[in-house]
Structure 1
Amino acid sequence: MKPDTSRWRESNSYDFFDSLSVEGLAWECLRRSESYQQHYTTLLRSGTERLPLVTEEQKRWGLRFRGAARFVRIETGRFVVTSY
C-alpha cells in the first residue's frame, strides 16, 4: 500500500512533524522508502504482514540494533542548575 505522495513537497504538509514522537518521525521517514514499500507489498501478497519480522528484517529497517542497549555517561565538567 503506497502512501499518498501528492503533497510531500509542500512544506506545510510537514507542520505535524514538530509534534511527532521519535517513533512517529521514524515511521514517517520509513514509509517513504521505496524499498520498504516493495518489502511491505511482498508481505501483503504473502499474507504475513501481521507476523513479527525476522531479526535480519528488523535490523534492515532500523527496528532492531546490532548491540544491546547500554548506559553511556559523558563527562562535561559542568553542573546542571535547576530552579525551584
Structure 2
Amino acid sequence: MAAVDWRSEQDYANFGEAETADIAWEWLRRDSEYEQDFRSLTAATRSSGTPHQFRNKWGLSFRG
C-alpha cells in the first residue's frame, strides 16, 4: 500500500465523495488492534467466513 499523508489535501481530494462505509474502513484498517486480530485468524477460518466473534467485536456487517 502506498503511504498516504493524512494531512495532505491532495491525498484526500476525493474525500467529499466517500460514503460512510469508505470512511469506516479507512479508520478500521489503521487500527493496530484490528490488524492484530485479523492476522490471528487462520487461513482455514478466513476461507470459511469471518468468525462471528470477530465480526461482532469490530462491528463488521456484510450485506448483499
Regarding TM over 0.5, the answer is yes
The percentage of aligned residue pairs carrying the same residue is 27
Larger Rg: 1
Would you say how many aligned residue pairs link Structure 1 and Structure 2? 59
**Residues 40, 49 of structure 1: 8 Å contact kept:** no
- 5+ residue gaps in structure 2? none
Q: 2: distance between equivalents of 1:24 and 1:51?
A: 25
Higher relative contact order (CA 8 A, sep 6+): 1
Which deviations, in whole Å up to 9, do the C-alpha atoms of 1:37-57 show, x marking residues without a partner?
1112222xx213343223222
For normalisation by structure 1, the TM-score amounts to 0.53
Superposition RMSD on alpha carbons, in Å? Answer: 2.1
For normalisation by structure 2, the TM-score amounts to 0.64
- 5+ residue gaps in structure 1? 65-84
